[in-house]
Amino acid sequence: MSDSHTKNTAALAALTDHAALARAWQLPALFAEDKKRFHHFSLEAAGLFLDYSKNHIDATTVSLLTGFARSCSLEQRRDAMFQGAPVNATEQRPALHTLLRAPAELRFELNGEVLSNEVQQVLQRIDQLSQRIRSGEWLGFTGKVITDVVNIGIGGSDLGPAMACAALRPFIKPGLRAHFLSNVDGHAIDAVLTNLSPETTLFIVASKSFTTQETLINARVAREWFLTKGKTADLAKHFVAVSTNAKAVAEFGIDTANMLPFWDWVGGRYSVWSAIGLSVAIAVGMDNFRAFLAGAHAMDKHFQESPLEQNMPVMLGLLGWWYRQYFGSSSHLIAPYHEDLRLFPVHLQQVDMESNGKRVTNAGIPVTSPTAPVIWGSTGTNGQHAYFQMLHQGTDLVPVDFIAAINPSHDRANQQHTLLANCFAQAEALMVGHQKDERAGHEGEALAEFRVLPGNRPSNTLLMDKLTPTTLGALLALYEHKTFVQGVLWDINSFDQWGVERGKTLAARILPELEGKSSTHTHDGSTAGLIARTLQKKH
């Protein structure tokens, strides 16, 4: 047995013994014992403030958790990622999304290529193209300015930019609207195109290979819709591409001068920082897009340079791992108390679950502990009137991340005070609960047991002064790195996603059958029955 494995086993054993004690702790009692607990268990970095004091931890827990992280070589594996090592081992690729947000003066070379120069060149092209559209220089085929930009992509080519544009709504240029299409369901594109005009609409087709089925189906529908008014020669004025397949892009009718590339070392769920963010740059302007990148870079530096005990992504990752490993928490709630962050939990679902929803270790052997929890959530005040009941009185322990901005983008202070009061109150109620009302003589006595909230339920609270491009960048990078930390703790590859391929393969077999073509493929009884019923009933 190697020294590193021995250290890892010993650290895990110590944590397991400690967790048996920690599960019996009551959070209110921990605050009563330590009057400075809030100060001891809070961090500030890159414009974000994290209060993690409402967790089943003490100083010994933090020491044991960070010790376990070190036994897993977290610091070395973090450094390897930033240095361009092939941390995506199954595809022999680096994961260099952090390079996309590094400042121009930071030179980075890998295998003889100065990748930093390539990144800056693409950023310059994003700047030029977005400025032409925002300034009105780019005109449609009838000479009208572009008023609507439709991003056609799927997965990271949709979720990241859609989330960013929603979050940065106050920064979007007046008169310019951003739309996002990903679902292959025809109802989705119908809903978008209904209110658009071919004369003033620009489509961004985002597909690295320019072969992604869902994206290409929607792109072809958009092309046909455009050609009801324009001509084939006009396509170049209304379609641009983010891709590396110049031949397919040209065949579609897009001028390859308006094709922006990105690289195989950028995973889809980390691609909003690349040319996939073109729709964001068009909507909010290049200065704001660069501020978005700068906020992420500030969090990158903090993650690289801060000791584990004072490292925000590390602490979030360790806490998530702690509850998954020892408290049976199979899900984790993201509750933003900011309407413009309504798509943030949706984007994090891909960032976390596509990254860490794995069943084997880096060595290809089955993992022996649970991995990624279910990530879910919506805006907090809406959630309070839907699923918060389960958080307070249900039988599952669900850790919560509350996210809020102290200052709003609007000028209605009373509404913001109400919003923050609700945010802080929910976190407090989850922790302190509500014990049985012993009053007698009225209906309260009969209902006393029903009113009990056990409390002792953990949460983190993340605050920013205001939601801006910079703080949004830092917030997203924080969760990207949290996900990486947990992947290291589970010893899994957070950068591949083989699990999504099988369904695509089977869909390609079923599609011809639904179109009435013969097939040599056999299916299970259920699938065969569904195909047969569809063929019988379709018009």
Active site residues: 354, 385, 504
**Residue 109 in tokens:** 């070379």
CA torsion sign, 94 to 263 to 192 to 509? negative
Q: Is 443 exposed, middle or buried (0-12, 13-18, 19+ CB in 10 A)?
A: exposed
The CA distance from 69 to 316, in Å, is 12
- Answer for the pair 304, 347: CB distance below 8 angstroms, yes or no: no
Phi, psi of 112, deg, nearest 5: 85, -5
Collapsed DSSP state (helix, strand, coil) of residue 177: strand
231 residue type, one letter: K
Collapsed DSSP state (helix, strand, coil) of residue 445: helix
Collapsed DSSP state (helix, strand, coil) of residue 241: strand
> Across the chain, which distance is largest between two alpha carbons, in Å?
83
**Residue 529 in tokens:** 């029955």
Sole residue written with tokens 């019996």: 24
Chain Cα centroid distance, residue 79 = 22
The CA distance from 49 to 264, in Å, is 34
The CA distance from 217 to 95, in Å, is 29
Q: Which residues does 347 contact at the CB level (< 8 Å), separation at least 6?
A: 159, 160, 162, 163, 476
Sole residue written with tokens 């310059």: 124
Instruction: Using alpha carbons, list the distances in angstroms from residue 167 to 24, 299, 338, 376, 472.
Output: 39, 18, 9, 18, 8
The CA distance from 23 to 20, in Å, is 6
- Answer for the pair 378, 345: CB distance below 8 angstroms, yes or no: yes
The number of helices, as runs of H, and strands, as runs of E, in the chain is 22, 13
The CA distance from 267 to 428, in Å, is 38
First to last CA, the chain: 65
